[in-house]
Amino acid sequence: MGSKWSKDDALIWLSGGALVLGFLMVAGLILVIVVHGLGRFWPQELTRYVMHDGRVVLGHETSRASVRTTGSTGERSRAYRLRVRTGDRRLYPQEYIWLEESGVAGRDAPREAVVVEQVRGGDLFGYLDSFEDDGVVVARGYDAVWAHYRERYPELERLRRQQALSIVLTSTDGRRHAVSLASVQRIYAPNTMTAWTSVRHYVGSAWSYLWAPPRDENRLGGVYPAIFGTAAMVILMSVVVMPFGVLAAFYLREYGRPGPFLNAVRIAVNSLAGVPSIVFGVFGLGFFVYFLGGTLDRLFFPADLPEPTFGRGGILWCSLTLALLTLPVVIVAVEEGLAGVPRELREASHALGATRFETLWRVVVPVVLPSILTGLILSVARAAGTVAPLMITGVVAFSAELPVDGAWPFVHLEREFMHLGFHIFDTGFRPDGGEAFLPMSYTSTLLLLAIVVSLNAAAIGLRSRLRRRYSVAAA
């Protein structure tokens, strides 16, 4: 307004700052995930660092850290160190090294530098030397080897079985290393890539991330089994929680006699929603895995004992645990929907002589169907993002088998399985040497975040459309 201002206006402004701060912090963290997660598939240029001491290093910079130094005369200054990834240990002693920036005499990006992605093991950075067939050199030199490789690339899958073919790489210090074609996933020369080939590379990598199994202890490759496991578990959970949750909500709103008892149950349900997920995991372990599973084993699989079949963690028990966890979510959503059904609608139906069930089925259910859907989406989102209880009820970091496959009985409820959230934990929580796993976990984090956020956005959108419809109906 005027030029006058009071301390109070400033305080209002500052409280607005609190709102913005909380918001920006979350946004900032998410931005970090997005940048790291999305950037990973872009082909990174290989740099050759020539050091003053004559050493030559090939790799790409992952970070730059500042270090304080105190010179001989006591003056303080700031120096920088580069963290450089030099590729798989088969070619160089360490995958990541530190380089003093002041020690770098020059750097360039040699076009011949290639990245060899291995089926087992990490990426190798080096120069193409020759193409060998059973020890006999078939092609030599970058262009020839590259041409040979490109020619053979379409039939790579078949050639893999022929152990005889191999590609020889030279390292920066002149050592030669032969890689059997059998273990070559893909070769590319990042320094020669155009924007278009980079995009193709990017899309290809992202695609194989989604649809390929993991390699090298989850460090490389894809997360297909984790996505599949998450989806299978969530579907299984929905099958359990939806009928039960809807029924419970109908009991609470429609059939139960309103009174202190019902009130107490409702409070208990709400409080159940506040119980930490890990506690559900503990319950799941004690009840589902050991009690139910143990009983099943004794009844149906006594031959295999003491080797447990159902008496250990598995996808069924995880699903049941999460069903319990998401039960309040479903109940609350459906109850809200039921509360929104106009009373006149019900009364009109009763007035026509319909029974309570008929009213429910023909009048109420169609109206609350979207709310049920909202409950489903929200519970799926919650389940997809929950990790802690699964850690003790049957999720594993790596599993060669999927819970659903072609082997009888097709659905293997007792199997341990991979889960996207746990994959993040497994790759992101490594006491040492975890650096090499981080690109993977950033991408998985982004994927999980995208899934959960879009599910929630869908639920929010659905609900706001619902509310608008009711308010129109009420007006």
Partner 1 sequence: MTDRTRHRRMDRRRLLDLLVGRLAALGGVVLILTILSVFAVILWVVYPLLLSPAEYRWGVSGPDGIDAGYRILPLIFGTLKGAVYALLFAVPVSVLAALYASQFLPRAMKERLKPAVEIMAAVPSVVLGFIGGVWLAPYLASHVFALFLAPVFISGVVTAVFLIRHHAPVSFRAFNPPGREIWLLMVAVLAGGWLALECGTWLETAWLRAGYETWFEESLGLTYAQRNAIVVGMVMGLAVTPVIFTISEDALSAVPRSFLEGSMSLGATRWQTALRIVLPAAGTGILAAVLLGFSRAIGETMIVLFISGNVPVMDWSAFSGFRALSASVALDLPNAARDDTLYRVLFFAAFLLLVSTFAINIVAELVRRRLRRRYA
Partner 2 sequence: MTTENTPVTPKILREETIIDVERVSFWYGGRAALKDVTMAIDRQVITAFIGPSGCGKTTLLRLINRMNDLVPQVRMTGTIRMNGVDIYGPDTDVTRLRRRVGMVFQQPNPFPKSIYENVAYGPRIHGVKSGVFLDEIVERCLRRAFLWEEVQEQLEESALGLSLGQQQRLCIARAIAVEPEVLLMDEPCSSLDPVATSRIEELMLDLKDDYTIVIVTHNMQQAARVSEYTGFMLKGELVEMGVTDAMFTTPRDRRTEDYITGRAG
- The residue among 303 and 475 lying less far from partner 2, judged by its C-beta, is 475
Q: What is the closest distance, in whole angstroms, from the C-beta atom of residue 212 to partner 1 in the complex? A: 22
What lies within 8 Å, CB to CB, of 85 at 6+ separation is 59, 60, 61, 62, 95, 96
SS3 (DSSP) at 139:
strand
Question: How many helices (H) does the chain have, and how many strands (E)?
Answer: 14, 13
Listed residue (145, 123, 120) closest to 46, CA to CA: 123
Residue 290 interacting entry, from partner 2, partner 1, none, C-beta within 5 to 8 Å by type: partner 1
Largest CA distance in the chain: 99
- 40's enclosing H/E stretch is none
Decide if 418 contacts 315 (C-beta within 8 A). no
Residue 25 binds which of partner 1, partner 2, none (CB < 5-8 A, kind-dependent): partner 1
Closest CB to partner 2 among 8 and 432? Answer: 8
Choose among partner 2, partner 1, none what residue 39 binds, the Cβ cut-off being 5 to 8 Å by kind.
none
Contact in structure between 345 and 413 (CB atoms under 8 Å): no
Which entry of partner 1, partner 2, none binds 78, CB below 5 to 8 A by partner kind? partner 1
- Please report how close the Cβ of residue 399 comes to partner 1 at its closest, in angstroms: 15
Neighbours of 331 (CB within 10 A): 28
302 touches 308 (CB < 8 A): no
Tokens standing for 179? 């890689």
One character per residue 368-407, x = contact with partner 2 (rule: CB under 8 A)? ----------------------------------------
Looking at beta carbons only, is 9 or 173 nearer to partner 2?
A: 9
**What is the closest distance, in whole angstroms, from the C-beta atom of residue 14 to partner 1 in the complex?**
6
Nearest distance in Å: CB 13, partner 2: 17
Measured from the CB atom, the residue of 4 and 161 that comes closer to partner 2 is 4
Task: Give the one entry of partner 1, partner 2, none that residue 460 binds, where binding means its C-beta sits below a cut-off of 5 to 8 angstroms depending on kind.
Answer: partner 1
**Are the CB atoms for 284 and 392 separated by under 8 Å?**
yes
Q: Write out the binding residues for partner 2, residues 253-272 only, by CB under 8 A.
A: none
State which residue, 5 or 255, has the beta carbon closest to partner 2.
5
Choose the contact partner of 26 out of partner 2, partner 1, none; CB within 5 to 8 A by kind.
partner 1
- Sign of dihedral through CA atoms 53, 54, 55, 57? positive
The answer to the question of residue 1 lying near partner 2 (CB under 8 A) is yes
Smallest gap from residue 282 Cβ to partner 2 (A):
43
Q: Which residues pair with 114 in a beta bridge?
A: 126
**Nearest to partner 1 of 126, 394 (CB atom):** 394
Nearest to partner 2 of 10, 339 (CB atom):
10
| 2 binding partner 2? (CB under 8 A) | yes
Contacts of 107 (CB under 8 A, 6+ apart): 47, 48, 49, 50
| Rounded Cα gap, residues 423 and 436, in angstroms | 14
Residue 12 touches which member of partner 1, partner 2, none, C-beta under 5-8 Å by kind: partner 1
Give the DSSP letter string of 163-218: TTEEEEEE-TTS-EEEEEGGGEEEEE-GGG--HHHHHHHHHHHHHHHHHS-EETTT
> What residues does 128 pair with on adjacent strands?
169
Q: Quick check: 7 binds partner 2 (CB under 8 A)?
A: no
| Contacts of residue 234, Cβ cutoff 8 Å, sequence gap at least 6 | 319, 322, 380, 383, 384
Q: Which does 281 bind (CB under 5 to 8 A by kind): partner 1, partner 2, none?
A: partner 1
Q: How far is the CB of 61 from partner 1 (least distance, A)?
A: 17
- Residue 5 beta carbon to partner 2: minimum distance, rounded to whole angstroms: 11
Residue with Cβ nearer partner 1 (1 or 299): 1
- How near is the Cβ of 4 to partner 2 at its closest, in Å? 7
User: Which DSSP category does 433 fall into?
Assistant: S
Stretch that binds partner 2, among 1-9, 128-136, 313-321, 406-414 (CB under 8 A): 1-9
Work out the angle at residue 469's Cα, subtended by the Cα atoms of residues 468 and 471, and round it to the nearest 5 degrees.
65
In whole angstroms, how close is the CB of 378 to partner 1 at the nearest point? 8
Q: Which is nearer to partner 1, 19 or 407 (CB)?
A: 19
Picked from partner 1, partner 2, none, the partner binding residue 141 (CB below 5 to 8 A depending on kind) is none
Closest distance of CB 139 from partner 1, Å: 43
Q: Which residues bind partner 2 (CB under 8 A)?
A: 1-2, 4
